[in-house]
Structure 1
């Protein structure tokens, strides 16, 4: 129920803000607005206010503002001056761009408010560097703090992820400046192939995790190879086939390389050492066969508590931080979309209503600040994508009105009709892809 409620609130807020932007500017440009609708289809609730019918409709996946327009129906002579099609191209452009601009302002306002209130964050410290990963091969170790990506200063784990995405896709090595206690700062380089594919697992593929873990078992999966071998909760991993185990990630690598092979694992239990024999089960990961035991590590609670910080800013600094974050995310959204078009980023990153609903519900569970941050991100994405020059979207209409401004005459109805059809086909294809991705993410295979 929380997921459904969060989804309805998210869409309701975003659609209302977007359409109200169109409505507010249209009224001030002297255009008569006939209908303000949240949702499509059959009206569930209607009321009249001035010239405008306000309504809530059956399908809550969007909304619209219908303005007086001679291209849709005959207009009484007394209302011709208030018809949208009779307005100057600059007024038309202002009405069209007002919807995305309203979403952009909402995102900036939310980021400003959150920064002024204070944001819980994680220090950009590698709690665990996976053995054999690109980060480990570049020389990173547990406890290293990433202070810069290229020339960008890093203050939190979120900023690290954003900076890596911003740099990803380049053919140049990725430069990181890291700080190690007792050693100081130094630069390392990651090969470009390590950050070429952009997805939410980017940091994991680099071998970086913010969560520090101990070599102690917190959970043994029932029915697993580990349970059959006699592992227990609180066992501490000491050695693998006689070789000392320096970290949990090194232990994972050894287990992964031993699929189907018996291994002698030394553990410390109640102050004494004992040797267990276990055969990791075969498992397929990204087309590779790896070994699995069924053990979950213990989080280093003291280290994890040290990772948590709270970022607080004064009103003016909070505004600057909010605008910077909005600009960065908007730019990355456009870059990601462009990379998808030229096959440099996977199409499975396109999300639909199911993903939005799930993440809205999860963010609502995490607290109001997390939910508002998510709401700002979706509002920002809606603003950017709506401004793409695709017929049916606001950006397509903006393109038509720009052409009218430059040529002095409206785009021919036939051209606009063809554009609308092509835009609708593209939009339906994107919706189908988004739903397909949703299905793959959340429906068990």
Structure 2
């Protein structure tokens, strides 16, 4: 039984802050709970259904322990608990699965329209983030001669997939969608050996009214492919170092 169990945390709870500090990413939350393992912390939680802060107010002790309880901050719960220093394998200090995705449910007759709309908005949002990440990657390669540690290749994607599958079917669908957007954006980059590179050749042919010599196009594509393969090797090495914790 985990600290989250004794604190009666529930699926769908939204963690707003930890020890009064607002949280903006899952990574921040995971890092802070690990750093404070063995120490009493306070989570501010937003709960939509069966929220005792809307019904009773006041203070309540849970789990038969004075160290694990909650009181109210407006309509949000303030839950006190102690992250474990040595959690079981495949579990975190609190014993919960954290996701930065909020699930929204709509009436069935609104789902087709709203699903397409929200999916389009989500794709645009992830597309912007991916473009910014690509920019940072290229800048890092050119200026520092290395790939950012956050960039993942096949091994990193495999690890991420394993973590996502623990969060359920919807999380897997979202992850697949993000990968699809990522592949689409990368594929249209104006770089040889990619579809974007082919579009550049077509644009040149359209402007000059002359076809690029086949040997020249082949040579440029081969150089581009070698560069992509070298980049993949570097990213894979990066994945291995991350996996080994170096």
Q: Distance in 1 between matches of 2:93 and 2:30?
A: 21
Question: 1:408 deviation in Å?
Answer: 1.6
CA contact (8 A) 2:154 2:236 kept: yes
CA contact (8 A) 2:67 2:80 kept: no
Question: How is 1:95-114 mapped onto 2 (pairs within 5 angstroms)?
Answer: none
Q: Counterpart in 1 of 2:123? A: 326
Counterpart pick for 2:180 among 355, 361, 379: 379
Counterpart pick for 2:104 among 311, 320, 328: 311
Question: 1:295 deviation in Å?
Answer: 6.7
- Which blocks of at least 5 consecutive residues in structure 2 are unaligned? 1-10, 42-64, 69-78
Tell me whether 1:125 sits opposite 2:12 in the alignment: no
Question: 1:389 deviation in Å?
Answer: 0.8
Q: Counterpart in 2 of 1:271? A: none
Question: 1:321 deviation in Å?
Answer: 1.3
Deviation per residue, 1:356-413 (Å, 9 max, x gap): 2222233234322121111111111111111111111111111111211222221122
Q: Distance in 2 between matches of 1:392 and 1:300?
A: 46
Deviation per residue, 1:401-432 (Å, 9 max, x gap): 12112222211224313311321122012111
Counterpart pick for 2:226 among 406, 425, 435: 425
Question: 1:340 deviation in Å?
Answer: 1.9
Using structure 2 for the length normalisation, give the TM-score: 0.60
CA contact (8 A) 1:214 1:299 kept: no
Q: Distance in 2 between matches of 1:379 and 1:392?
A: 19
SS for the counterpart of 1:347 is coil
Based on CA coordinates, which of the two structures has the bigger radius of gyration? Answer: 1
CA contact (8 A) 1:340 1:347 kept: yes
SS for the counterpart of 2:211 is coil
Q: Counterpart in 1 of 2:72? A: none
Deviation per residue, 1:277-328 (Å, 9 max, x gap): xxxxxxxxxxxxxxxxx57797499xx9xx9964124332222111011011
Question: How is 1:157-172 mapped onto 2 (pairs within 5 angstroms)?
Answer: 160-161=24-25
CA contact (8 A) 2:33 2:93 kept: no
SS for the counterpart of 2:230 is helix
Tell me whether 1:336 sits opposite 2:137 in the alignment: no
Question: How is 1:182-193 mapped onto 2 (pairs within 5 angstroms)?
Answer: none
Deviation per residue, 1:200-233 (Å, 9 max, x gap): 84x3599699xxx9728xxxxxxxxxxxxxxxxx
CA contact (8 A) 1:350 1:433 kept: no
Deviation per residue, 1:62-88 (Å, 9 max, x gap): xxxxxxxxxxxxxxxxxxxxxxxxxxx
Q: Using CA pairs under 8 Å that are at least 6 residues apart, name the structure with larger relative contact order, 1 or 2.
A: 1
CA contact (8 A) 1:400 1:411 kept: yes
In structure 2, the CA distance between the partners of 1:236 and 1:208, relative to structure 1 (3 Å rule), is: closer
Tell me whether 1:395 sits opposite 2:196 in the alignment: yes
Question: 1:349 deviation in Å?
Answer: 2.1
Using structure 1 for the length normalisation, give the TM-score: 0.35
Higher strand share: 1
In structure 2, the CA distance between the partners of 1:235 and 1:354, relative to structure 1 (3 Å rule), is: farther
